[in-house]
Homo-oligomer: A and B are copies of this chain.
């Protein structure tokens, strides 16, 4: 006997599988998870949130995923309208990058809440866990407090391990990205483990500085602003 939910799945595409498992519930959470609940999906979105990436970049950033699964997830995400595949013409050859659509980018608040939850309610990560500075940038964004950034317009440079990122704050908004900042008011240097521990609130800034694990360059006022803007508290619900 065929299950009722599958009976009338709309025949949208061509050689579409008939049975992607759906919860079949009239509930925003269940319906979101119908699209996002499979393994790896949200992690792909996480990695694309920082910048568009190529297939092989994603493969590197997601150890264990397996080439077929990555291809499958990207196709699904594309059909679901969360990811777009774009051909970028470089001098030598044309490259394909995957980038988030607006719907995909709109998942950032969901991921912020997950990160915040992990800070408060999970044990510290295992030492052998793999890190990536881009994930730490996302954690930084989860600490962004719009109110504290009102009226501020300056940029910060973050040197995490051997990679350089920037955060441009402009009156209640942030934009983060790879590469150096144009005219940074603060330059922050730390290894990824240190900075992610600071973001999670597991170590204090003065402690990290005196340990030599965190280095800061810039005027005192700007440094204070930076830490006020990227400080904890943003959670809206009680």
Contact = CB atoms under 8 A, between A and B. Distances in A.
Interface stretch (A87-95, A110-118, A159-167, A206-214): A110-118
B117 A32 contact: yes
A238 interface: yes
B25 A118 contact: no
Contacts of A121: 103, 106
A31 B4 CA distance: 35
B193 A146 contact: no
A238 B23 contact: no
User: For the complex formed by this chain, how many copies does it contain in all?
Assistant: 2
Nearest to A197: B26
Contact of A117 (B4, B110, B130, B237): B110
Interface stretch (A35-43, A69-77, A179-187, A224-232): A35-43
Interface string A12-54: 0000000001011111111111010101001100100000000
Given A5-B128, A110-B114, A114-B110, A28 B119 contact: yes
Contacts of A106: 117, 120-121
B114 A237 contact: no
Interface string A61-90: 001100000000000000000000000000
A24 B25 CA distance: 31
Contacts of A237: 108-109, 112, 144
Interface stretch (A131-139, A150-158, A215-223): A131-139
B29 A114 contact: yes
B5 A29 contact: no
Interface of A: 3-5, 8, 21, 23-33, 35, 37, 39, 42-43, 46, 63-64, 103, 106-122, 125-126, 128-132, 135, 138-139, 142, 144, 146, 173, 192-193, 196, 200, 234-238
9 contacts: A8-B126, A25-B130, A28-B135, A28-B142, A29-B43, A29-B138, A109-B116, A112-B113, A112-B237
